[in-house]
């Protein structure tokens, strides 16, 4: 009696231990533990050779609004706060509702939208990108930059593929640093503005944004750490992240916010997402900004982190341009040191690193771990499992059939009276 109870308790304890360990193994499998190792194959070559980010030079949005008001509005006293209102509205900051309604009234009276205003009244690229030089070779800026509507407003954007046609020397191709020099001048008439300088690699979640002030020289040194997607298809990593090469999580949140607000972001109206929705009017832009922020906590958005992770680090030095007459570099020849901005961007490939993520848990390791747990605590192995299956599928049906035959054979015969 007591031995049977003790044996039952031991079996229950073993089953509980097996259940707890299986739960721990499953939780660890869902976390996808992995080892980070330095990559030395062709993926490293892809990232470390001729890797330049996209570059955008953007005039401030409020300066575009000032140019717009000069041509569209007569009452400058009433509309003097419109430029800062437009800037705060497009950057997701709180704005005065009366000023938003006034801006909407001005746009409707001239039958214009925010994208039309930004594109029509911003400066052309050749007006504020004065000199360009790549790997110490002078290049026409109009060959590199094009005017585009971006999430930071209207910018002059240079894609890395634009540099493919620039002639370079054999020696320059062996350098471990990519360099590009720019001379900028953000001005409208006699009024000077600061410029926004933005760099972003493909798939990078957060762009580097620098505010450039006239009459200053800037030296920006950029390096990156890349973790490309694992090539092993058996790993569960792909189930916890998005493997698209150009996927950006913030854009996914924006698309979710657009679906919630029922209209598209006016700054990204050329994107192929949510094309069936109309462009948001001025009064609905704040809805996008609020819902995009809430999207991080909204599980219905299903915006997974990217599988290809790339993080950049930038070091910036700035110095005033005092005496350009003594400069030896021909880049400074003929420029106005008071109104101009000089930027030297260096992408340090020698100090950039590419890592590979090797998962330590796969479906095979999970199966072997679970098998070990069941074998240790419950005595269930491969052969015992086969025996159990044989017992259920073969032995049990035979036993049931034989039992029914015995019951029929031993059943008492009922005699009918009178026969």
pLDDT at 98: 85
Instruction: Enumerate the domain spans of the chain.
Output: 17-33+360-382, 38-57+124-248+306-359, 60-121
Strand partners, 226: 310, 354
Torsion of CA 17, 20, 25, 30, to 10 degrees: 170
Beta-carbon contacts of residue 120 (< 8 Å; ≥ 6 apart): 112
3-state SS assignment for residue 251: helix
Strand partners, 188: 191
pLDDT at 310: 83
What single-letter DSSP state applies at residue 393? Answer: I
- H/E stretch holding 220 reads strand 216-227
- H/E stretch holding 55 reads strand 54-58
> How many angstroms separate the CA atoms of 368 and 233, rounded?
19
pLDDT at 419: 46
Half-sphere exposure at residue 247, Cβ-oriented, CA atoms within 13 angstroms = 17
> How many angstroms separate the CA atoms of 156 and 184, rounded?
11
> How many angstroms separate the CA atoms of 406 and 200, rounded?
82
Beta-carbon contacts of residue 219 (< 8 Å; ≥ 6 apart): 316, 317, 318, 344, 346
Task: Report CA 2 to chain centroid distance, whole Å.
Answer: 64
pLDDT at 383: 58
Q: How many helices (H) and strands (E) does the chain have?
A: 13, 15
Topology given in CATH for the domain delimited by 38-57+124-248+306-359: Acid-sensing ion channels like fold (2.60.470)
Task: Report CA 382 to chain centroid distance, whole Å.
Answer: 45
3-state SS assignment for residue 376: helix
3-state SS assignment for residue 87: helix
Strand 216-227 to strand 341-348: parallel, antiparallel, or no bridges (unpaired)?
A: parallel
Beta-carbon contacts of residue 161 (< 8 Å; ≥ 6 apart): none
Half-sphere exposure at residue 284, Cβ-oriented, CA atoms within 13 angstroms = 17
Strand 353-359 to strand 216-227: parallel, antiparallel, or no bridges (unpaired)?
A: parallel
pLDDT at 112: 83
Nearest residue to 316 (alpha-carbon basis) of 412, 227, 220:
220
> How many angstroms separate the CA atoms of 75 and 84, rounded?
16
> How many angstroms separate the CA atoms of 168 and 189, rounded?
37
pLDDT per residue rounded down to tens, the chain (419 residues)? 666 677 677 777 777 777 777 777 677 666 666 666 767 655 566 666 557 889 999 988 877 777 777 777 666 666 778 888 888 888 777 888 888 888 888 888 888 888 888 888 888 888 889 999 998 889 999 999 999 888 888 899 998 888 877 776 655 555 678 889 999 988 777 788 888 999 998 878 888 889 999 999 999 999 888 887 665 545 555 567 777 777 888 888 888 888 888 888 888 765 556 778 888 888 888 888 777 666 545 556 778 888 778 888 899 999 888 777 777 888 888 888 888 899 999 998 878 888 877 766 666 666 667 667 666 666 666 556 666 677 777 777 777 777 766 655 555 555 545 54
């Amino acid at each position: 009696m007591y031995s049977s109870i003790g044996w039952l308790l031991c079996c229950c304890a073993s089953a509980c231990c097996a259940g707890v360990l299986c739960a721990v193994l499953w939780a660890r499998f869902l976390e996808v533990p992995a080892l980070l190792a330095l990559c030395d194959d062709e993926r490293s070559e892809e990232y470390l050779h001729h890797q330049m980010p996209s570059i955008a030079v953007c005039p401030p949005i409020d300066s575009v609004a000032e140019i717009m008001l000069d041509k569209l509005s007569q009452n400058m006293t009433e509309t003097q706060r419109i430029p800062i209102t437009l800037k705060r509205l497009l950057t997701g900051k709180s704005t005065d509702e009366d000023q938003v309604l006034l801006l909407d009234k001005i746009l409707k009276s001239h039958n214009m939208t925010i994208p039309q205003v930004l594109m029509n009244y911003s400066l052309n690229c050749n007006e504020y990108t004065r000199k360009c030089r790549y790997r110490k070779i002078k290049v026409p800026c109009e060959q590199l930059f094009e005017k585009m509507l971006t999430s930071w407003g209207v910018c002059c954007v240079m894609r890395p593929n634009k540099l493919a046609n620039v002639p370079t020397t054999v020696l320059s191709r062996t350098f471990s640093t990519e360099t590009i020099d720019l001379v900028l001048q953000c001005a409208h008439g006699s009024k000077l503005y600061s410029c926004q300088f933005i760099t972003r690699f493909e798939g990078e979640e957060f762009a580097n944004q620098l505010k450039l002030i006239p009459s200053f020289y800037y030296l920006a040194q950029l390096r990156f750490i890349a973790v490309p997607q694992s090539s092993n298809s058996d790993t569960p990593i792909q189930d916890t992240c998005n493997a698209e090469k150009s996927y950006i999580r913030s854009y996914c949140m924006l698309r979710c916010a657009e679906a919630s607000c029922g209209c598209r972001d006016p700054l990204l109206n050329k994107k192929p997402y949510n094309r069936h929705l109309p462009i948001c009017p001025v009064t609905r832009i704040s809805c996008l900004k609020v819902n995009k922020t809430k999207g991080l906590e909204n599980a219905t958005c299903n915006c997974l982190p990217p599988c290809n992770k790339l993080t950049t680090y930038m070091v910036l030095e700035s110095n005033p341009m005092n005496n350009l007459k003594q400069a030896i570099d021909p880049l400074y020849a003929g420029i106005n040191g008071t109104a101009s901005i000089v930027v030297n961007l260096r992408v340090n490939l020698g100090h950039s690193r590419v890592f590979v993520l090797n998962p330590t848990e796969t479906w095979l390791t999970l199966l072997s771990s679970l098998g070990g747990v069941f074998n240790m605590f419950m005595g269930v192995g491969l052969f015992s499992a086969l025996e159990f299956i044989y017992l259920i599928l073969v032995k049990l049906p035979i036993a049931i059939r034989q039992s029914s035959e015995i019951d029929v054979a031993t059943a008492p015969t009922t005699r009918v009276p009178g026969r």
